[in-house]
Structure 1
Amino acid sequence: MTQIEQFTEPAGPGTRVAGVGTVRERMRAFHRRWPPGDGVGVFHEAYLTTVRGSSGHGGGVPRAAAGTLEVRLAERYLAALDAAEAGGRPPECWRPLFPYRRHPGVRPVQFALAGLHAHVAHDLALAVADVCCTRDCEPAALEGEFDRVGDLLASLEERIHDDLMPGPDLLRIADPLTHLVSSWSLERAREAAWSAAGVLRRLRGFSSQAEEFRRQTDAGAGLVVRFLLTPCR
């Protein structure tokens, strides 16, 4: 199995998955590891804070059962972090964040949106495929879980805009950051992820075609991530 395949191969029925407590502690461990201002840490802090805030209302990783879409989505993200921290090769969509993580020309909101796009456009599609394979079901059976994840991601996007987007007194209409942020849509990214998950499910049993589709999905997400990380100053 190649380094890419270890992140893209769907889990089969009976595959052991991490418990909720393990996922939560791993997220906290990464949060404690990075210094303030780290680009990857900017996204991670927003993600972790959103998860903590939603846990008391029935959403987020802390209240989700092992094997649910919420947890499998977090596991995809953590696998990418593990690979990068170990000097390996995370999925292509995640790779640009690591060399750019201390770039002075990339603003915090860019890191956060780039991480959110990689998480939605790549991790979410594969997490849906993971759960479908484990439960031997079609994506339609996961619509409720997908909607709950969508609510969590919408809260994360709102937090990113509220906490990291410069105010109107600092951000001119001609500022390139205005163009970058307004060019990205969470709803479009979620719709694409849902469609990609359906294709992956239909390609089960055709491993080479499924792997090629996963690579293309990863590469497409990576292009958008690079765009979002364009230095703006």
Structure 2
Amino acid sequence: ANEYSDGQALQALKLLKEYLPASYKEGAKNPVARERVHNAATIAGIAFANAFLGVCHSMAHKLGSEFHIPHGLANAMLISNVIRYNANDNPTKQTAFSQYDRPQARRRYAEVADHLDLSAPGDRTAQKIEKLLAWLDELKTELGIPTSIREAGVQEADFLAKVDKLSEDAFDDQCTGANPRYPLIAELKQIMLDTFYGREFSEAVDEEAAAPAAAKAAVKKPKK
């Protein structure tokens, strides 16, 4: 991402926030809203053609190919959990971008919330991200987007039989390398599982790393 693509992406989001619900509900009866949504889609395309995409598209490519889910729908179902995954200042692994020496996604999501007038004065970064996620959930409800991959018609047995291969293929997708947080295959699998069941993504606990700390905490201090 850069100053050029940032401005285009933010403008596209602003247009979609203002006009997408009306375009969806009113269709040809509201040609202005339709025009603005078409413009937003084109502006967004210019932005991601220059800044590229990330793991939301990587997973959507594989879900769409395997289960015949339209690409936009797959992205819409995944996006909230991808934001939760990316909004981490201490990721397992950071993608190497020469212009950044530390993770940027969490701060940038907060800036999106500011740009869309979702945040309030005094909000902390975490609050802004939660408001961004809440708006996305409201928008998806307005647009009739399923709340889970299962609700979109994918059978549980079919999904569970293929989720390991889907995760591996998503990791190898061309979009993965540009994601702000470089994923593990297991992390992509967790995002897809959570999205299948309609759960919020949360960081998995590293049991091997947590065990020594838990054991240490369990040791009672000797009496003086």
Q: Determine if the TM-score, normalized by the shorter chain, exceeds 0.5.
A: no
Which structure has the higher relative contact order (CA within 8 Å, separation 6+)? 1
- Structure of higher CA gyration radius: 2
Aligning the two structures, in what range does the TM-score lie when normalised by the shorter sequence?
0.3 to 0.5
TM-score (norm 1): 0.34
